Amino acid sequence: MLDLTGKKALVTGIANNRSIAWGIAQQLHKAGANIGITYLPDEKGKMEKKVAELVEPLNPSLFLPCNVQNEEQVKSTFETIHQKWGNLDILIHCLAFANKDDLSGDFSQTSRTGFQTALDVSTYSLIQLAGAAKPLMTQGGSVVTLSYLGAIRAIPNYNVMGVAKAGLEASVRYLAAELGPSQIRVNAISAGPIRTLASSAVGGILDMIHHVEKVAPLRRTVTQIEVGNTAAFLCSDLASGITGQVLYVDAGYEIMGM
């Protein structure tokens, strides 16, 4: 029943084979979606090469550079989607960034520029990409973003990223309210801690993972593929009545009081 055949899906946020976005892209592809990929370009073209090799088995019909802090690149990404695909069905927002200095130590010492960077890349980008996708989602659509428990609880070292994720979850609700009449659904997946490039910047991430393995009802943390399965579900007709929600894919950790 989970069939995404013919759906055009743009996946952002693949950096390597540990990326949550990579787990999502694989599961969307498995469900039949036509995949477009964006990557964060660097001067030497290293990321482009690495991501291109990784995603080759998915046969992406679009492969585009898109730094969300670069208005021109975002504009050009959606112009290309318009030209090559005509419309868009699925947008996966799976990216975040904060300076390493702001992901450990005292939250009260967060710098203004660190705050602006974290919120710009990790929160505003959802609003920006959903706004650009809206006119292309002419047959309805599904937007999925990635959040973390630090949005609603104080997690050691997560600091400014917790504020960014709180803003992200609020943005999910506002976007869902605005885009619902166009049959565009907007949801977040709050994933348990997974070892990735981004999470390695958070102080004590391994301790967080070990703690979850001890305490979560399923006595483990989750995989990128499990998050990918949930994203595929949220993008499918099976989730046609779900919008504005934060769905926990965290082996149940969120329900525990101790």
Interface contacts to ligand NAD, rule CB under 6 A: 13-15, 18-21, 40, 66-69, 94-97, 121, 146-148, 191, 193-194, 196-199
| Residue 253: active-site member | no
Is 98 within any annotated ligand binding site?
yes
Cα separation, 26 vs 232, whole angstroms = 10
Shortest distance, position 93 Cβ to ligand NAD, whole Å: 8
**Which residue do the tokens 């504005």 mark?**
244
Output 69 or 80, the one with its CB closest to ligand NAD.
Answer: 69
- Is 20 annotated to bind a ligand? Reply is yes
**Is the distance from CB of 4 to CB of 28 less than 8 angstroms?**
yes
User: 148 catalytic, yes or no?
Assistant: yes
| φ, ψ of residue 107 in degrees (nearest 5) | -60, -35
Which C-beta is closer to ligand NAD: that of 141 or that of 193?
193
96 annotated as belonging to a binding site for a ligand: no
Query: Is 127 annotated to bind ligand?
Result: no
DSSP string, 129-181: HHHHHGGG-BTBEEEEEEE-GGGTS--TTTHHHHHHHHHHHHHHHHHHHHHGG
* C-beta closer to ligand NAD: residue 34 or 190: 190
Cβ count within 10 A of residue 54: 18
C-alpha 89/C-alpha 256 separation (Å) is 36
Minimal distance in Å, beta carbon 49 to ligand NAD? 14
Active-site positions read: 148, 158
As annotated, the binding site includes 13, 19-20, 95, 98, 165, 194-198
